[in-house]
Amino acid sequence: MTDRNRLLLIAPVIAMFVGITPVLGATPEPTITPGSEQGARAYYAQISDQLHFTAVPGTTRLDDLLVFLGYPTTGDKLRTLDPGVLMNPVQAAAPTGLSLSINGLSGATLREDDILATRFFAPKIVNISQTPLTIGWRKLVRLRSRPDSAAARAGVQTAIILFNFFAPAGQDPFSNQSINTQVMLIAPAQPKGLLWLDFDPNNVLGLSLTASFDAADLGGTRDYYVPDGCNACHGSPGNSAPPMINYLDTDHWFDRLENDFAALKSTNTALLFDAHTNDPTQGPFFAAFDIIRRFNEEALKQNSIAQPNTFEAQAARVWLGLHAQSDQHFSPVDRAFGNEKWQPTEADGLSRLNRYCFRCHGSVRFSVFDRQAVVERAGIMRQRINPSQAQIRESSTFKMPPDRTLDFSEIQALDEFLKNLK
Amino acid sequence: MPTLRIYPAIGAARLGNSQQSFVGPEEPGIPGNWDSGAQRFRAFRDGEGKILRQAARFRIFQFDDTGNAIKEITLADGVRITWTVHVANRKASFFTFNGQSGAETDPPYTGRAARKPDEAEKEDRGKGQPERKNFRNPAVAKRSDLEIDPGPVSISAPGVRELRDSQTPAPIKLLGHIQMENEGHLLVLGGFGETEFQGPVLHAIDEYASNDGWFDDMSDGLVSASVIFPDGHTEEAEQAWVIVGPPKFAPGIRNVVSLYDTIWDLAVRNQMSCQAGRDPILQDLVAQQQAWQNTTNDFASAYVPSFTQHIYPILSRAFAARDVHEPPTGFPDYHLTLPDWSRLSQRPDPQFRQAIFNRIRNPNSNVLDRKNMPRGLGDDYTTLDDFEFKGAPQPSARAFLSLTQVQYTLLKAWAEGRFVDDWKFGDVRFAPIPAPGIVTPHGLDQAALENCVGGPFYPGIEVSWLIRHTSLYAGAFRLQKAGFLLGPLTFGAGFFSQQMALPWQADFYDCHKEEHTEDGSPEPRIYMWWTAQRPDDIRAVAGGPYRRWVEPFDAASQTQDPDDVANLARFEQMRTRWFELKFVILDGEDFVEEK
């Protein structure tokens, strides 16, 4: 039987099983490792000991963490202040700024690059199985631990705070609450070198983030607990390796305007929100893009220490190489890396991988931009997008992608593309 | 001239603590104690919950000169049959087990035999690895006092006889029973899983394989038969061998490398003599012998394997490991690329096959490969242990289990598209267990051995690495007539079991899954030993949560770490409570714990 015939024959089966609770299959489970409440509590207890910072779920606030880092201010200020204000040391002490006492710690003053902040479109956090889509946005604030802070004494060099916002296309998302606020503490001297915390919309320490990685399979969002859920997408599946910071892929954001986020494109909203434009020739775009570039340089530095030879680090290098002198949007084919580069004739297929798979396979196990990695996995990927009944029955996590239900025609197109890869 | 041969040439009995028993597998693909009519396993326990012993049934077949079985000889033919069984347990007088120590010479153990019994063989490493001497019980001068040898025991009429050594000073005397059935078949039943300590001060079991003062009732040995025909002439049948193992706690699941695969591999690569006659399986063996190229470790391209016969068994066993081994954290879908038999058996679409083959460890390579499959520990585990605890150089490539060279080559041919697409079962989890058919001589060999472990031999479950010594074989699957010397060793009763763990429960506890994640690994590396005999993890219901198979022993824990090898209480728990552990049996399409 040819593959095509096989696809046709099992199409009703796919329609029956894919994306809904399988009648005959395994109990739906998340594909992305969710971790557990118990594990998260144990983790917080462990990092409390490590850092001498009291991380108590339900009690500890983001404000406490900011004090720990040497920034006695509030999480709300961090969330609401314009990045331009946040990054300006001159405004740090002002009531309209962070209200920081900049000389408060052994006379240390806020330095020029102590705070990095940017806001941007975040397709990665969107529940792609919903119609219409609610657009996801993020505000990233990177704080360097102030020299005499408790964090600095504990070896925490920087904190990366990610606020997550949602709003319909065309609406200002940043006036909303942050649904989850994720924190990475970069502490190279500590075991694993990167530690996780997660805060709820009220800035209170929580055990998990609520996310839509498995939304199609599970019928909606679910909780992913620290640290397992975080490590899964940050280079440490099974918590075996030092986790890594993921670089910000501006090019991917612009790619997605051409498919799932056409509605966002029609509103002409700036994806680099602080640029107020998507025109890379405009000055504000330069400035906003440069913040991303600086962050990605730092991400690569961390990657190079944690796991220097990984695809994640390689992808960050590629982004930085392409954007060393350019703020332009580079096409997926231009962003290929590895021993074998994607060819222009493969652009359609790569575009599908980028659209359907990159959300995870930009940072989990392999990158779709590494052609050789895809070729090596092509057979398995074909099984994943079009599993046998036995595979469906065995595990709800086998089918890919887990976050949306692919049209049958798209399954066919992906299958054909992957099948012909050599 | 017609000849008589006993089949299986190597039969497998298994111990149990019940007086009752069941007959071990006799047809390929049909597990022991399987009720084909009801499509489920019969009970593995008696009314008191004790584990049934698995009997090895032996039969006599008459062959013509071309290797075809003329008929099975039974008492209904008017013959008089005298079966003689000579098993023994020589574990306590043998060398300590220390991985491949002893295998470096040919004949084996030549170097160790030249050393003093009390010479140190392995240094004290703590953590359940105390110092071990060259010999077990080195202080005992009269070595025969350490042996349990009932001598040859014969039976000439339906009935039962004990395999008892009344003379030995060892604390265990009984190694099992033999029984002649009304048809004239022989049943060999092993021990009851008994262990005893003998010595002035009780020495707790503190090591996985060699514990001085301890004795058990495992055994192995030769099975012979003489047949007096109605015309008065007598013929001796070609000798067979019986091995005795622990219960197979996952009776429907096989090891990815079975003992059948190991001996088949020896037979192919060493061109062991084989009269195939009309037996299609043996004809296949001969075809593989003819196609095998020792220079390339490959088959000539003329040889074309069958997906159903050659490929599916390997892959399905790997897949079945999911029912006895919990997926590693973060990797819930391990081995899930396998149950896609329809596509894996399609010749025109190589990607699926190549993706799988690319993950198979190459048994011909001497390069250490931690990543690929099988995710199992190997014969040379000692080098991994030395690496991790002593800072020794890189472990040997043999620290991890590989498929046999023949298995690997079959998969290679499959990956390359050189195979027959003969899959007919569709999109199923497993092919159905075949319906019973005709018992054939070689089918008895296969059925017995495919349910035994073919590796790793560290030391193993039923036999260890001595089984691979080619000089022991008279031909494919048949051992030489006993009684000759192999260097310092005598090939006779107790030859294979002497290498095995003493007492058997020590290794049966200790060989659970192990983590050996190397620095920089992108994933945790969890390796198995023999999950199909001794499960790592089991489930009460299909798709349900796993629990550690030996969880009932946790109450005796001295530490929080269930895998802590220093936790000697667990050895004792296994020694005294092994029969409480659950069997994993087929329920619908899934293997779950017995109710």
Check residue A20 and give its pLDDT: 33
A187 and A68 both lie in a single domain: yes
Chain B: residue nearest A7 by CA? B343
Q: Do A382 and B351 touch (CB under 8 A)?
A: yes
DSSP output for A99-118 = ---TTTBTTB---TTSEEEE
pLDDT of residue A15: 34
Contact list in A for residue B428 (CB cut-off 8 A) is 390
**CA–CA gap between residue B137 and residue B415 (Å, rounded):** 50
pLDDT value at residue A12: 35
Contact between A301 and A226 under an 8 Å Cβ cutoff? The reply is: no
Residues A339 and A239 in one domain: no
- Take residue B548 and report the two structure tokens written for it: 């550690």
Residues 6-65 on A with a CB inside 8 Å of B are 6, 26-27, 29, 31, 33
- Nearest C-alpha of chain B: how many angstroms from A81? 38
The DSSP bridge partners found for residue A117 are A141
Residue with the larger pLDDT of the pair A1 and A275: A275
Is pLDDT at A19 greater than 80 in this prediction?
Answer: no
Domain boundary among A190, A225, A243: A243
Question: Which pLDDT does position B199 carry in this prediction?
Answer: 95
- Are A199 and A76 in the same domain? yes
Q: Is B264 helix (H, G, I), strand (E, B) or coil?
A: helix
Say if A59 falls within a structural domain.
yes
Query: Cα(A60)–Cα(B517) distance, rounded to whole angstroms?
Result: 35
Label residue B562 by pLDDT band (50, 70, 90): low
**Residue A13 clears pLDDT 50, i.e. is over it:** no
Percent of chain B at pLDDT exceeding 70:
98
Among the partner-chain residues A2, A395, A421, the one whose CB lies closest to the CB of B333 is A395
Taking the CA of residue B333 and the nearest CA in chain A, the distance in Å comes to: 6
Among B330, B354, B429, the residue with its CB nearest the CB of A390 is: B429
**Residue (of B2, B19, B82, B25) closest to B443 by Cα position:** B25
**Rounded Cα–Cα distance for residues A383 and A400 (Å):** 9
What mean pLDDT is reported for chain B? Answer: 95
What the block records as the tokens of B240 is 């067979």
Are B351 and A419 in contact (CB < 8 Å)? yes
| Residue A403 covered by a domain | yes
Give B135's contacts (C-beta < 8 A, 6+ positions apart). Answer: B93, B94, B95, B96, B117, B118
* Contact yes or no for B340 and A310 at CB 8 A: no
In a domain, A260, yes or no: no
Q: What pLDDT score was predicted for residue B320?
A: 96
Structure tokens at A40: 């998260």
Give yes or no: residues A157 and A12 share one domain: yes
Three-class secondary structure of residue B34 per DSSP:
strand
The answer on pLDDT for B72 being more than 50 is yes
On average, the pLDDT of chain A sits at: 90
**Residue B127 has what pLDDT?**
66
Cis peptide before B327 (omega within 30 of 0): no
Q: Inform me whether the C-beta atom of residue A312 falls under 8 Å from chain B C-beta atoms.
A: no
Q: What is the pLDDT of residue A8?
A: 33
Cβ–Cβ gap A376/B355 under 8 Å: yes
Kindly provide the ipTM of the predicted complex, given to two decimals: 0.86
Which pLDDT tens digit goes with each residue over A228-276?
999 989 988 778 789 999 999 999 999 999 999 999 999 999 999 999 9
User: Residues of B with CB below 8 A from A365's CB?
Assistant: 522
**pLDDT value of position B281:** 97
Cβ distance A378 to B351 less than 8 Å, yes or no, reads: yes
Residue B579 has what pLDDT?
98
Q: Are A394 and B429 an interchain contact pair (Cβ–Cβ within 8 Å)?
A: yes
SS3 A266: helix
Q: What is the pLDDT of residues A52-90, one digit of tens each?
A: 999 999 999 999 999 999 999 999 999 999 999 999 988
| Nearest neighbour of A379 by CB, restricted to B352, B523, B543 | B352
Give me the pLDDT at residue A108, please.
Answer: 64
Judge whether B47 is closer than 8 Å to chain A, CB to CB: no
Chain B residue with the nearest C-alpha to that of A242: B520
Residue A4 pLDDT > 70 = no
DSSP conformation class of B37 = T
**Beta-strand pair B34-35/B21-23:** unpaired
d(CA B431, CA B314): 13
Which chain A residues touch B349 with a CB distance below 8 Å? 3, 419
> What does the pLDDT read at residue B588?
87
pLDDT score at A5: 36
- Is residue A290 included in any domain, yes or no? no
Residue A298 lies in a domain: no
A250 falls within a domain: no
Select from B351, B352, B353 the residue whose CB has the most chain A CBs within 10 Å, as the one to mutate to test that interface: B351
Q: Containing domain of residue A409, as a range?
A: 333-419
Asked whether residue A151 is assigned to any structural domain, the reply reads yes
Residue pair A211/A126 in contact by the 8 Å Cβ criterion = no
Count of domains forming chain A:
2
Q: What 3-state DSSP class applies to A327?
A: coil
Partner residue opposite B330 with nearest CB, options A237, A376, A383: A237
B339:A388 CB<8 A? yes
**Cross-chain Cβ contact B355/A3 below 8 Å:** no
Residue range A329-386, pLDDT digits in tens? 999 999 999 999 999 999 999 999 999 999 999 999 899 999 999 999 999 999 999 9
Out of B336, B343, B524, closest to residue A240 by CB: B524
Give CA–CA dist B197/B217, Å, rounded. 12
**For residue B524, what pLDDT band results from cuts at 50, 70 and 90?**
confident
Question: Does A228 contact B329 at a Cβ distance shorter than 8 Å?
Answer: yes
| Domain end marker among A219, A243, A267 | A243
Could you give the 3-state DSSP secondary structure of residue A380? helix
The full length of chain A comes to 422
Q: Is B404's pLDDT higher than 60?
A: yes
User: Same domain for A226 and A363?
Assistant: no
Q: Does one domain contain both A69 and A199? A: yes
Task: Give the end of a domain, one of A243, A275, A307.
Answer: A243
A51 and A195 belong to one structural domain: yes
Q: In this complex, do B349 and A419 lie within 8 Å of one another by their Cβ atoms?
A: yes
What is the mean pLDDT of the segment spanning B402-425? Answer: 98
Whether the ω angle into residue B107 lies within 30 degrees of 0, i.e. cis, is: yes
Kind and range of the H or E run holding B11? strand B10-14
A95 within domain boundaries: yes
The pTM (predicted TM-score) of the whole model is: 0.88
* C-alpha distances out from residue B479 to B231, B260, B335, B442, B488, Å: 30, 14, 36, 14, 18
The mean per-residue pLDDT over the stretch B96-121 comes to: 97
Q: Does B560 touch chain A (CB under 8 A)?
A: no
Find the Cα–Cα–Cα–Cα dihedral B369, B375, B377, B383, rounded to 10°. Answer: 20
Partner-chain residue, chosen from A29, A232, A388, that has the shortest CB–CB distance to B342: A388
Report chain B residues whose CB lies below 8 A from the CB of A243. none
pLDDT at residue A26 in the model: 64
More confident of the two residues B4 and A104: B4
- Averaged pLDDT for residues A300-310: 94
Q: Cα–chain-centroid distance for residue A255?
A: 16
At B184 the pLDDT is: 98
CA distance A28 to chain B (A): 10
Asked if residue A107 has pLDDT above 70, the reply is no
Q: Is A377 on the interface with B (CB under 8 A)?
A: yes
